[in-house]
Each structure stands twice: as structure tokens, then as C-alpha cells.
């Protein structure tokens, strides 16, 4: 079945540091890939997505590129802020029909210190 | 903006009680989902529904049931709550092939 593996946290960075959170997946066919973010005490919010190979999703300074050859979708940000402290989830789905289900990684806690 | 609301942010129940968690979305989405979130396990799908009165089991349906009588409302039911159902419960909704939008979550404690 489908699975998503992301780097275990917690990740602790200083403000303005470069961020990478690794994500690899196992799936048949051509899934869509997502990064969701969960701020403390809140539900998940979609951060960015990519629906086909070589697509780059971007939002709020975060980027991730769909790499089919390495089955990866690593999240990057050039300069993190304290407000980026949150849990980040990588996820995939096979869209189409009625079975639009997400498979999530276990999440990576990011803490950014001033 | 899409809004997904859940009936309670925090809930405390006793073992054996019947528990109802309600979720309402205001964007006429066909699909609705219930997940539970546990430390170290991430999010796991309990049930989902792609139309009124339709439901499908997710990865961990045991001990849960669902109800979708109206398009905007999706209820998760714990028939007889147990301590291992203490968790954060997240509801989500989506249009057919679009990303899911999540509610704020209900943190359930079963004593």
C-alpha cells in the first residue's frame, strides 16, 4: 500500500536558518503530493501541493519539488522565522473518483528560536 | 474561505459512554473525513464519506461508526468509549479531487 516517510524531529533552528524536511513516498502510479502545517492548538492547513512529476509547489517562502525518480518531496525554506514553528506533515493521495484519501507521514516538529 | 467546524475543542467522557463528535462544513463539499491524531503515529483515517448516506471504512474503523444524513454534516460516533480512544480527532472535507480542509480538532479524554 501507499506510505510516506518523513524525517523524524524535533528539528530546532535559529531564526533565518535554512530549513529542509525530507519526505519520501511509496505509491503506485502518479500520486499528488502535499505538505500540511499544524500550528499549536489548531487543525491542519494546506501549505503547498504538486500534482505531477517536476512540479514545484510554493507558498509563504516554502518550496517542494515532486521528484519521481527519487520518489521524494522535500520541504525547503531559505530563512525560517519564529512564526514557522509548527508540525509539518507530508502526504500523498490518488485523486480521481470518490476515493480521494490522504496518506500522511508521521509529522516533523519544527521549533525556531529567536 | 472554507470553514470546517467541530462541535467541541475539548471533551471528557467516561469509559462506556456513547460519544458523538460533530463536524460541519459550509462549502458544499462532497467528501468528508474523520482522522485521529496520536503522537508518533501521525494521522490515521477512521472513516470517510463521499456523499450523503454513503460511508467507507478507513484504516482504523474498529470501535467507531459514522453518520452523514446531510451533505454539510458528518458525525463520528464512539458506541462505547474506551481509554484507548483518547486522542485528537480531526475532521476534514474536500471537493472531488481538491485538497482537504481541516477543522480545528477535538481533543477527547476518556477516563
Q: What integer is the mean pLDDT of A78-88?
A: 97
Average pLDDT in chain A: 92
Facing residue for A43 by CB, picked from B40, B41, B103: B103
Residues A46, B94: C-beta atoms closer than 8 Å:
no
B101 and A46 in contact by Cβ < 8 A?
Answer: yes
Q: Average pLDDT in the B46-50 region?
A: 93
Rounded to an integer, the average pLDDT of A29-43 is 91
Give the pLDDT of residue B2: 66
Interface of B with A in 43-102 (CB under 8 A): 43, 45, 48, 50-51, 56, 58, 90, 92, 94, 96-97, 99-102
Q: How confident is the model at residue A99 (pLDDT cuts 50, 70, 90)?
A: low
- In A84-103, the residues whose Cβ lies within 8 Å of chain B are 89, 95-96, 98-102
- Distance separating alpha carbons of residues A33 and A67, to the nearest angstrom: 10
The pLDDT assigned to A8 comes to: 84
Residues of chain B with Cβ-Cβ distance to A44 below 8 Å are 43, 90, 92, 102
The answer to whether residue A110 scores a pLDDT higher than 80 is yes
Return the pLDDT at A98. 45
Is residue A18 within 8 A of residue A74, CB to CB? The reply is no
Q: Is the pLDDT of residue B81 over 90?
A: yes
DSSP of chain B, one letter per residue? ---EEES-SEEEE-TT--EEEEEEESS--SEEEEEEEETTTEEEEEEEESSTT--EE-S--TT-EEEEEETTEEEEEESS--GGG-EEEEEEEE-TTSPPEE---EEEEE-
Chain A contact present for B104, CB below 8 A: yes
What number of other Cβ atoms are within 10 A of residue B106's Cβ? 23
Give contacts of B4 with chain A, Cβ < 8 Å. Answer: 43
Q: How high is the pLDDT of residue A60?
A: 95
Query: Do the Cβ atoms of A107 and B42 come within 8 Å?
Result: yes
Cell readout for A82 is: 519564529
Asked whether the predicted pLDDT for residue A97 surpasses 60, the reply is no
The distance of A97 to chain B (nearest Cα, Å) reads 7
Confidence of residue B42 (pLDDT cuts 50, 70, 90): confident
The verdict on a CB contact (< 8 Å) between A95 and B97 is yes
Radius of gyration of chain A from its Cα atoms, rounded to whole angstroms? 14
Q: How sure is the predictor about A95, in pLDDT bands with cuts at 50, 70 and 90?
A: low
Percent residues over pLDDT 70 in chain A: 95
How confident is the model over B3-14, as pLDDT tens digits?
899 999 999 999
- Kindly report the nearest CA distance between residue B2 and chain A, in angstroms: 11
B9-36 confidence digits (pLDDT tens): 999 999 999 999 999 999 999 999 999 9
Q: Does A35 touch chain B (CB under 8 A)?
A: no
Give me the mean pLDDT over the B65-94 stretch. 96
Amino acid at each position: 500500500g501507499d506510505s510516506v516517510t518523513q524525517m523524524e524531529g524535533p528539528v530546532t533552528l535559529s531564526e533565518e536558518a535554512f530549513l529542509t524536511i525530507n519526505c519520501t513516498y511509496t505509491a503506485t502510479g502518479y500520486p499528488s503530493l502535499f505538505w500540511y502545517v499544524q500550528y499549536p492548538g489548531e487543525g491542519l492547513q494546506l501549505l503547498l501541493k504538486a500534482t505531477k512529476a517536476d512540479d514545484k509547489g510554493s507558498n509563504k517562502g516554502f518550496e517542494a519539488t515532486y521528484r519521481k525518480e527519487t520518489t521524494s518531496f522535500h520541504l525547503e525554506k531559505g530563512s525560517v522565522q519564529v512564526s514557522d514553528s509548527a508540525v509539518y506533515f507530508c502526504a500523498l493521495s490518488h485523486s480521481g473518483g470518490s476515493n480521494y484519501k490522504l496518506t500522511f507521514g508521521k509529522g516533523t516538529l519544527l521549533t525556531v528560536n529567536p | 474561505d472554507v470553514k470546517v467546524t467541530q462541535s467541541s475543542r475539548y471533551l471528557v467522557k467516561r469509559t462506556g459512554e456513547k460519544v458523538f463528535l460533530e463536524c460541519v462544513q459550509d462549502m458544499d463539499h462532497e467528501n468528508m473525513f474523520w482522522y485521529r491524531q496520536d503522537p508518533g503515529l501521525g494521522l490515521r483515517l477512521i472513516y470517510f464519506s463521499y456523499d450523503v448516506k454513503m460511508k467507507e471504512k478507513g484504516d482504523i474503523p474498529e470501535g467507531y461508526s459514522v453518520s452523514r444524513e446531510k451533505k454539510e454534516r458528518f458525525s463520528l460516533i464512539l458506541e462505547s468509549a474506551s481509554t484507548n480512544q483518547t486522542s485528537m480527532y480531526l475532521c476534514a472535507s474536500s471537493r472531488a479531487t481538491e485538497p482537504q480542509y481541516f477543522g480545528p480538532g477535538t481533543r477527547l479524554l476518556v477516563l
